[in-house]
Amino acid sequence: MVIKQLSVFLQNETGRLLKITDILKKENINISALSIAETEEYGIIRMIVSDIDKAEKVLRENDYKVKVSDVICLITPDIPGALNEKLELLAAENINVSYMYGYSSEGKARLIIKASDPERAAEILNNNN
Amino acid sequence: MIWNEPKETMSRDQMYELQSARLRKIVDRVYHNVPFYRKKMQELDLEPGDIKTIDDITKLPFTTKDDLRDNYPFGLFAVPKSEVVRVHASSGTTGKPTVVAYSRKDIDIFSEVVTRALACAGITKNDVVQVAFGYGLFTGGLGLHYGAEKLGAAVVPISGGNTVKQIQLLQDFGSTVLACTPSYAAHLAESLEEAGVDAKELPLRVGIFGAEPWTPEMKKKIEEGLGITAYDIYGLSEIIGPGVSISCEHQIGLHIAEDHFYPEIINPDTLERLPEGETGELVFTTITKEAMPLLRYRTRDISSLNYEKCICGRTNVRMSKIYGRTDDMLIIRGVNVYPSQVESVLLEIPEAKPHYQLIVDREGSLDTLEVQVEIDDKYFTDEIAQLSKINRKIKQKIENNLGISVILKLVEPKTLKRSEGKAKRVIDNRKL
């Protein structure tokens, strides 16, 4: 399914991430998934949070550069070849994946996928579930 | 409107006579009242009688900011302290502050030239002038204040900063004129947008901006952002403050109040006076000031002069918009770089905000120039590949313009100092 992801631009310096988690903590916002893409100078932190509207608002109020985007949340069995199968479906439809992150536990893998056409990608993945 | 027709439209010959007479008087006064100038003139084997016309000004010694510092605080006064009615001073961020003094007549001159400037920008007694220049030791606030009052306009002396209040008064008081630094005007335009206020719906129509160099691109951006016509006011406290010159509706140079401030352009290296039209360092002699007249004061601003009569009817000499400052100029790996060049480039790139900071450093024997830029909200993406592309684009454009390689760094919003006064654009960490 398609869900909302919150991304924040951060300088790659000590304490910058802490400031974000601190702001979210104070607003009682839970982070359910998180990944960081980093370059030498800056990083992009991408999160799935409990209250995205509130999180976006407070971070903007604190002068952060924030972007909300559509991503796909995919749950697959935690077995070899499960991801491969899904990616084949997307590749067949010429949908590009620019990044993904996730983890597996208790027999299931949960993945967040940024795809070139999230609606269409979700549809393809759903139909083949 | 021309406020003082006799002075602003007099023939070049009349101006020559007036300036010559005033120069003779001022030289005589500083020679007898200011030991610093007497000593300097004696060293050059000069007596007041050697100065007959304004052309003889080239015989006179220069005055620099260091001279003002060396004579801190009151060493260059040409009148007893009892005749002084006001002092202003620079912030002194790079050493001792420089102090300037005004007699009652000097304040009248100051008000007169600011009034002329405001009239030149089409402002009348019917306007509401929001003065968002700082009030205090800085000449901007009080200078505009006195001039606008003399013109008969309603003055809103809000001073600098407090953006929320500025926006409130722009709306509630219906200010028609905003006077502040260009960087603050840009900041206000941005804040209005953030606050969801449509600037074009406001009665605001004219901007009087000065006290820091700004590019034509920035002017355009401010005019669009605030829905106004922007005028460039120039001045420096050493000469009087704002009002030394102003652009008119034709926006082709700034008219100098040359019956009070005599301009020259010199080569900053050889100190030779340059012919009309050539670009160099702007030098002023205050030919009417009482309390603290200065001979040939080196402004360190880069400009050129044009003596042609303007379409607006004024005959006063025009100076070009300031290109930069001799002391803003960075020499990086042997190449001259003006911060305003970076600004011009950024204003042409929609992905970048025009806020920037330059960090100059030296690694081994090689100078490095880091340009810190904010990415525009509309172009922010969370994909590194896209951000890198934007990074490369900005870097390439800056490098093409400057002719040297730079390190481009995208930074978090608002980490670059926004100016509510003057912007701090350059940090030079080289120990030269």
pLDDT of res. B319: 97
Percent of chain B with pLDDT over 70: 96
- Burial class, B48, CB count within 10 angstroms (exposed 0-12 / middle 13-18 / buried 19+): middle
ipTM: 0.79
pLDDT of res. B94: 53
- Answer for the pair B394, B351: CB distance below 8 angstroms, yes or no: yes
Q: Which residues in chain B have Cβ-Cβ distances shorter than 8 Å to A5?
A: 382
List chain A domain ranges.
Answer: 2-68, 70-127
B318 - beta bridge partners?
B255, B306
Distance between CA atoms of residues B335 and B350, nearest Å: 27
- Answer for the pair B225, B201: CB distance below 8 angstroms, yes or no: no
Nearest CB neighbour to A64, from listed B385, B387, B413: B413
**B394 min Cα distance to partner chain A (Å):** 16
Distance between CA atoms of residues B235 and B238, nearest Å: 9
Q: Spell out the alpha helix ranges (H) of A1-129.
A: 16-26, 52-61, 82-92, 118-127
Distance between CA atoms of residues B291 and B31, nearest Å: 14
Other C-beta atoms lying within 10 Å of the C-beta of residue B8 = 21
Angle, helices B216-226 vs B182-194, to 10°: value is 40
Residue in B428, B410, B399, B404 with CA at minimum distance from that of residue B355: B410
- Answer for the pair B129, B110: CB distance below 8 angstroms, yes or no: no
Top pLDDT among B268 and B230 is at B230
At B196-241, the pLDDT tens digits run: 999 999 999 999 999 887 888 889 999 999 999 999 999 999 999 9
Q: Which residues contact A23 (CB under 8 A, 6 or more apart)?
A: A58, A59, A62
Best mean pLDDT range from B82-86, B249-253, B338-342: B82-86
> What's the average model confidence in pLDDT over A88-110?
92
Distance between CA atoms of residues B173 and B127, nearest Å: 11
Question: Any chain A CB within 8 A of the CB of B417?
Answer: no
Nearest CB neighbour to A67, from listed B382, B412, B413: B382
- Answer for the pair B217, B344: CB distance below 8 angstroms, yes or no: yes
Complete edge-to-edge strand list for the sheet that includes strand B177-180: B154-156, B128-131, B177-180, B206-210, B229-236, B241-247, B254-256, B318-319, B305-306
pLDDT at residue A30 greater than cutoff 80: yes
Question: Any chain A CB within 8 A of the CB of B196?
Answer: no
pLDDT of res. A98: 92
B241 - beta bridge partners?
B236
Res. B418 pLDDT band, cuts 50 70 90 = low
Q: Which residues of A touch B (CB under 8 A)?
A: 5, 7, 9-11, 16, 37, 39, 41-42, 44, 46, 63-67, 69, 98-99, 114
Residues listed for chain B = 432
Question: Any chain A CB within 8 A of the CB of B382?
Answer: yes
Question: How many helices, marked H, and strands, marked E, lie in chain A?
Answer: 4, 6
Nearest chain A residue (CA) to B378: A67
Domains parsed from chain B with CATH numbers: 1-327 (3.40.50.12780), 330-428 (3.30.300.30)
| Interface contact B375-A9, CB threshold 8 A | yes
Q: Three-state DSSP class for B38?
A: helix
At B165-198, the pLDDT tens digits run: 999 999 999 999 999 999 899 989 989 999 999 9
Could you tell me which CATH class the domain A70-127 is placed in? alpha beta
**B378 min Cα distance to partner chain A (Å):** 10
For the entire predicted model, the pTM comes to 0.69
pLDDT of res. B213: 75
Task: Give me the DSSP letters along B195-210.
Answer: TT--GGGSS--EEEEE
At B8-34, the pLDDT tens digits run: 999 999 999 999 999 999 999 999 999
| Interface contact A37-B377, CB threshold 8 A | no
At B371-405, the pLDDT tens digits run: 999 888 888 888 888 999 999 999 999 999 888 89
Res. B288 pLDDT band, cuts 50 70 90 = very high
At A37-61, the pLDDT tens digits run: 988 889 999 999 999 999 999 999 9
The token pair that represents B201 in the structure block: 């719906």
Q: Which residues in chain B have Cβ-Cβ distances shorter than 8 Å to A16?
A: 412
Cβ under 8 Å to A: B residues 2-31: none
Q: Which residues in chain A have Cβ-Cβ distances shorter than 8 Å to B377?
A: 65
Other C-beta atoms lying within 10 Å of the C-beta of residue B348 = 12
CATH architecture observed for domain A2-68: 2-Layer Sandwich (3.30)
Of the residues B359, B382, B394, the best mutation for testing chain A's interface (the one with the most A CB atoms within 10 Å of its CB) is: B382
At B301-345, the pLDDT tens digits run: 989 999 999 999 999 999 999 877 777 778 788 777 888 788 888
Q: Three-state DSSP class for B131?
A: strand
> What's the average model confidence in pLDDT over B138-153?
97
Of the residues A17, A38, A41, the best mutation for testing chain B's interface (the one with the most B CB atoms within 10 Å of its CB) is: A41
pLDDT at residue B416 greater than cutoff 60: yes
**φ, ψ of residue A38 in degrees (nearest 5):** -125, 145
Question: Any chain A CB within 8 A of the CB of B409?
Answer: yes
| CATH topology agreement for domains A2-68 and A70-127 | yes
Question: Any chain A CB within 8 A of the CB of B392?
Answer: no
Nearest CB neighbour to B384, from listed A5, A37, A63: A37
Distance between CA atoms of residues B44 and B27, nearest Å: 14
Nearest CB neighbour to B380, from listed A10, A63, A65: A65
pLDDT of res. B215: 82
